[in-house]
Amino acid sequence: MKSKSIRTAVVTVTAATLLLAATACSSASSGGGGTPGSSAPSAVTLKFAYMGTTDQQAQWNQLFAQFEQSYPNIQVQAEAINVNDWGAFSDKLSTQIAGGDIPDVIQIATEGQMRFAASGLLEPLDSYISQDKSTIDEYYSDIDPKLLTFIQQHGSPDGQTYYLPGDFNTMVMWCNTDVVSQAGATLPAAGQGWTWDQFDQFAKTIHDNTSAYAFNAADNGYFTGVLPWVLTAGGNVMDSTWTQATFNSQPVIDAATFVQGLVSQGYSPAPGGTFDEFAMAAQDKLACYGGGRWPIIQTRTNNMVSKTQLVPWPSENGKQGSPIGWNSYPILKASQNKDAAWDFVKFMISKAGSSYFASLGGTIVPARQSVAQSQDFLGNSPVGTDELYKAVSYATPLPAPSQEANIAAAVQDGWAQIVSGNVSPSDGAAQVQAKMESILQ
């Protein structure tokens, strides 16, 4: 059974996914209705499937209205698939497509990209990229080159292009500077990292001098709670090809042992039960917790911007690490409206759209460096927000083979057992390794 912390993380990621869709609420490209730049014929209805709830549709509808203003010959017929995670989204969407209900464009994150690319359901984008080379070249020139490398390595089983790299999330620590100051502790200076030993001393100082937890290790989410520690130990839960499990490796055991220590010493709550990290931080009962861009909503709502600082994740050996996951909008091979779908994809990566979304306080990091470095993104945000984009330089893609949903469940459940002290790190790692090997067969 999933713990409350896992469910909370899933809801957070879902909210982040929703807000990502607003990325292109204004478009820099022209097109539609005979306007130069549009490749679609007149009077097209474009079917788009995304992950979201009924309550979230109002914000999506703002996106579609803006797109239709730029492309008045295209009407978006959108379907929100109301599920809790990307694995369930992929399952439901695959079933729907198999039944003949085929969207033109879908929203998909790293967790499902290899699965869909390998399924034969997606249209290669190479000819469209060649057709709009100047547009795509301009986009690529404004993103970190590693984003393109990541999607080329992990988004195609056959060398063809199915996805453009989109906005992303990395992981850093969000820290309450009031709690840190009250405890007499210190955070790393801007541009500097810190080690596990330094973080352990930091956590002890917080614990000894305040009634607050130092960190929220109750989060055992695959992306949010496990991979940041494993990667900063110099390891990973799978090899670089995403075909072999490496959970029983020494770096994974070291990472699990360290986090188990945070819990056993009382520096952090254990996985399980209810722990609202945003509320606890706002009440000065929590010094630090992990996050990508998505905590910005609660940080602003709780008037915590001025008392929050983002810092890199501490590392075991001085080598910084962070997982990274990104978003994309592939076109379905069976679509009868591929040109209109391509117009939609271009709209989603436009500079004006990214700037508009960032100014609204979106919960994902803009792929465009120019936007990520602008006040549209950095304004009304904590000190250190730029660490999120800096993390791309040392980030590792979240391992997401076609069996990602089952892999994530095995990792999360096993990690929770280790961190809670129910099993030793070495025994727990061996158990998770066996489960992962069985899944990958």
60-117 confidence digits (pLDDT tens): 787 788 889 889 999 999 999 988 777 788 889 999 999 999 999 999 999 899 889 9
**Pair of tokens at residue 39:** 């490749």
214-257 confidence digits (pLDDT tens): 999 999 999 999 999 999 999 999 999 999 999 999 999 999 99
Task: Please compute the mean of the pLDDT values over residues 423-440 and round it to a whole number.
Answer: 98
The class of domain 172-323+397-440 in CATH terms is alpha beta
d(CA 341, CA 168): 22
Backbone angles phi, psi at 32, to 5 degrees: 95, 145
55: confidence class by pLDDT, cuts 50, 70, 90:
low
Give the best-scoring range by mean pLDDT among 75-89, 346-360, 383-397. Answer: 383-397
Is the pLDDT assigned to residue 354 strictly greater than 50?
A: yes
Q: Give the pLDDT score at 88.
A: 83
The class of domain 4-169+325-394 in CATH terms is alpha beta
304-316 confidence digits (pLDDT tens): 999 999 999 999 9
- What's the one-letter identity of residue 66? Q
Task: Please compute the mean of the pLDDT values over residues 162-186 and round it to a whole number.
Answer: 97
Closest by Cα among 127, 140, 87 to 398: 87
Residue 7's alpha-carbon distances to 4, 168, 237, 274, 405, in angstroms, are 5, 21, 21, 10, 14
* pLDDT higher at 16 or 76: 76
* Bridge partners of residue 51, in order along the sequence: 81
Give the Cβ contact number of residue 225 at 10 Å: 26
d(CA 357, CA 363): 9
Q: What residue spans define the domains of the chain?
A: 4-169+325-394, 172-323+397-440
Continuous H helices in 79-173: 86-98, 110-118, 126-131, 133-141, 145-154
pTM equals 0.87
- Strands, sheet with 44-51, edge to edge from the N-terminal-most edge strand: 74-81, 44-51, 105-106
Task: Please compute the mean of the pLDDT values over residues 161-172 and round it to a whole number.
Answer: 96
d(CA 315, CA 108): 30
The total number of residues written for the chain in this structure: 441
Closest by Cα among 414, 409, 441 to 428: 414
Q: Find the helix packing angle between 4-20 and 57-70, rounded to 10°.
A: 20
Closest by Cα among 210, 221, 316 to 261: 316
d(CA 141, CA 354): 15
Is the pLDDT assigned to residue 32 strictly greater than 50?
A: no
**Chain centroid offset of residue 21 CA:** 13
31: confidence class by pLDDT, cuts 50, 70, 90:
very low
54: confidence class by pLDDT, cuts 50, 70, 90:
low
CB of 47 within 8 A of CB of 103?
yes
17-27 confidence digits (pLDDT tens): 333 333 333 33
Task: Please compute the mean of the pLDDT values over residues 278-284 and round it to a whole number.
Answer: 97
253-271 confidence digits (pLDDT tens): 999 999 999 999 999 999 9
Task: Please compute the mean of the pLDDT values over residues 29-33 and round it to a whole number.
Answer: 32
4-169+325-394 and 172-323+397-440 share one fold = yes
Q: Give the pLDDT score at 40.
A: 62
